[in-house]
Chains A and B, each alone.
Chain A
């Protein structure tokens, strides 16, 4: 890592630049080689789709002089990607698309030696809410009825989601604790597989993101019972929130872009500006709406504060569910 006097001076100025006008930055640092666009998940998942969508927006509008090159590093619930960034040989050309394993994996794997506060905040592109889904043939119409069914099954009720310790299992574990229930949890290797398992009635309930469940929701095969957002979602009118059931719990998957630790301030400012343009593009705004993501733009300081908050939240959640 090169720490020069200029870096220290830049440190003070960078945040100001990022906040002020965009054109001022365009004169400064620009990438000189392809940008390693690391994805914290395998091909085909939600994070991967978003990365490829962003890549195509940048490409289409010719926003950067060098291409973003997607690089899937999904191994170990994202541990592979975090290590990759930590050891990046060229931090100015290495950025990462994250999900919540950005918080949970370093907590669950302390030996990795990852401190996410050393990463460089770039952009919060939106947050993806969760919803509780059941198959239409289950006959379950309301959340209360669902709770009753799960309790009546005495631990034989089968739920499913992504890998143990990841987002889906956290949401289920919280729900089970909150309503004093007990159910089985079958981990699958991606949101798509989870959605299909529910549609084929291999499992009885999931907490997929709206984008993952949309195909089967539109065809009427699955139905939402509850959403884990702060307010009711426009896409599912009349479906209650967890908060309205007396538990102060909302859970979103973050769709954020972060830079490698040790990225120069000039480069960070460049990417912050680039992703602001992506965020404001009509394509991204359309994507947020069609995939039911909630917009949640943050500047770099707010992002760091958000990370700290999320680290605390996840520490507490993971401790509560005993993981």
Chain B
């Protein structure tokens, strides 16, 4: 088993004293970066770069992997404690993580996220170790029609996510998709929807702008309004014993989400144009669909936390695959790593596994070790995050507002986007009052920028013939399943509708 010995060597390097220290520092820093709304593992490179000149390249890679893992774990923390998804991969975690926290079960939610992340990361690492080059070839077969079919499937798994008011849900989805189209049309190369002639719209509207506005400002205003400012802060207690009991609970209640997320997340994650976000969203949707009590999702179901968290860790690890083997960065973070590899003189591509096997296996080995330490460090810091939640609301609220604005600027580097955050926040506050569900819009702005270009690329390929989505061997079955899934609830809805006019 050559692979195992190479992997063993990689792990041996990772557990040397200097490297263990770097991993602990990296994981801790990564955790806090990830927990800040607006910051993510992308920002880790800023810290990474100076370090790379102080330590040997092998240690630099390990440090990078540690920051990467730490930040992935951290993403869930702001979703659960602040209710703001800090990264698009953590959107689905807010759906059930936030309700859990509001019910006083923040500790359970945080433990579930940490444990699920560990399981997802481990499963992905094993897949990665065993099948990497093979999977890379499979990923190449996913062209625009296949990716579009997959996006359709992702939407299909979310039918019924919104509230009971169908027109308002549809409006929310459409709004998200239109907002996603603002900016530049990649296909025709022309500016599009530059609203009111304001050049700030040329760059498009990033998912984070809508998410921070809606969750960081809109939801907070709504909470202040509905609770009359008398928010009872979380009562969750802080004890080591509690963390152990919660780990048990996580497995008991969340094993289903964890298993689905780990596997599905990985396979969606390795596809070049897809990445970790659709992976975590689809895992949430599929887990909900297969659950016996789908109604409990969105109210604080543990599987609603474990599914997206297992999936985003698994998918983020999977996203390394197209980067290493194909040289395509699936996410901004992998783009940074790609840049790092160029600086270290390595060419990503099909031959990397053969020519630079030391590097590749050293990296994978450090994934295993970092993943383990990320779990330990994350669990150790849970009391701190709970303590934050127990602050008086009149302290926590301004902190969340400040973090939203600072995080929004840190992510976008443009005051125009900060103003949009405020605008979306106040808009979302009013829409929330009138029972408009906002989650579908956030979902749509995440998936829209993948769905629209792939739709049009596919139709360019087929000279405008839409049957391309049904006739290609991989796209066909996916499209078919997606359409059935979309039609099922529609049929269900139509039946009682006939009976209803009597009331």
Contacts and interface: CB of A to CB of B under 8 A. Distances in A.
Q: Do A and B share a direct contact in the complex (Cβ within 8 angstroms)? A: yes
B55 interface: no
Given A80-B202, A218-B349, A43 B336 contact: yes
B44 interface: no
Interface string B174-206: 000000000110111101000000010011100
Contacts of B340: 52
A199 B461 contact: no
Given A77-B184, A80-B202, A186-B457, A56 B343 contact: yes
A300 B361 CA distance: 46
Contacts of B348: 215
Nearest to B204: A75
Interface in A158-174: 158, 163-166, 169
B347 A164 contact: no
A33 interface: no
A202 B453 contact: no
Nearest to B342: A49
B413 A71 contact: yes
A15 interface: no
Nearest to A112: B199
B85 interface: no
Given A44-B338, A76-B184, A79-B191, A219 B204 contact: no
A53 B327 contact: no
Contacts of A187: 186-187, 189, 453, 457
Contact of B50 (A59, A193, A218): A59
A192 B327 contact: yes
Given A48-B339, A73-B203, A75-B183, A189 B453 contact: yes
Contacts of A43: 42, 329, 332, 335-336
A221 interface: yes
Contacts of A76: 183-184, 191, 202-203
Contacts of B52: 56
A49 B50 contact: no
A158 B189 contact: no
Contacts of A17: none
Given A43-B42, A71-B413, A77 B189 contact: yes
B68 to A, nearest CB: 15
Contacts of A298: none
Interface in A238-275: none
B322 interface: yes
Given A189-B453, A218-B349, A196 B140 contact: yes
Interface string A71-92: 1010111011001100000000
Contacts of B434: none
Interface stretch (B141-149, B228-236, B282-290): B141-149
A290 B202 CA distance: 35
Contacts of A216: 327, 349-350
B451 to A, nearest CB: 13
A75 B203 contact: yes
Given A60-B53, A156-B463, A214-B347, A197 B143 contact: yes
Contacts of B349: 214-216, 218-219
B143 to A, nearest CB: 4
A216 B348 CA distance: 9
A7 interface: no
Nearest to B324: A215
Interface string B308-333: 00000000000000100011110010
A49 B184 contact: no
A199 B351 contact: no
Interface string A21-54: 0000000000000000000001110001100110
B347 A218 contact: yes
Contacts of A200: 139-143
A109 interface: yes
Nearest to A283: B343
B460 interface: yes
B352 interface: yes
Contacts of B453: 187, 189
Contact of A218 (B140, B351, B457): B351
B345 interface: yes
Given A189-B453, A199-B326, A215 B186 contact: no
A202 B188 contact: no
A236 interface: no
A286 B343 CA distance: 11
A174 B463 CA distance: 22
Contact of B339 (A52, A109, A197): A52
B186 A184 contact: no
A59 B349 CA distance: 27
Nearest to A79: B202
A109 B191 contact: yes
A188 interface: yes
Contacts of B187: 163-164, 187
B74 interface: no
B273 interface: yes
B49 interface: yes
B257 interface: no
Contacts of A202: 143-144, 461
A109 B115 CA distance: 51
Contacts of A323: 189
A196 B202 contact: no
Nearest to B194: A76
A195 interface: yes
A55 interface: yes
Interface string A104-121: 000011001000000000
B49 A56 contact: yes
Contacts of B463: 156, 184
B272 interface: yes
A169 B189 contact: yes
Given A75-B203, A83-B199, A186 B142 contact: no
8 contacts: A43-B42, A44-B334, A52-B339, A76-B191, A164-B188, A187-B189, A215-B352, A219-B351
Given A184-B461, A193-B272, A216-B349, 11 more contacts: A43-B336, A44-B334, A52-B342, A52-B343, A79-B184, A184-B460, A196-B272, A196-B322, A215-B350, A218-B350, A219-B350
Interface of B: 42, 45-46, 49-50, 52-53, 139-144, 183-184, 186-189, 191, 199, 202-204, 272-273, 322, 326-329, 332, 334-336, 338-340, 342-343, 345, 347-352, 413-414, 453, 457, 460-461, 463
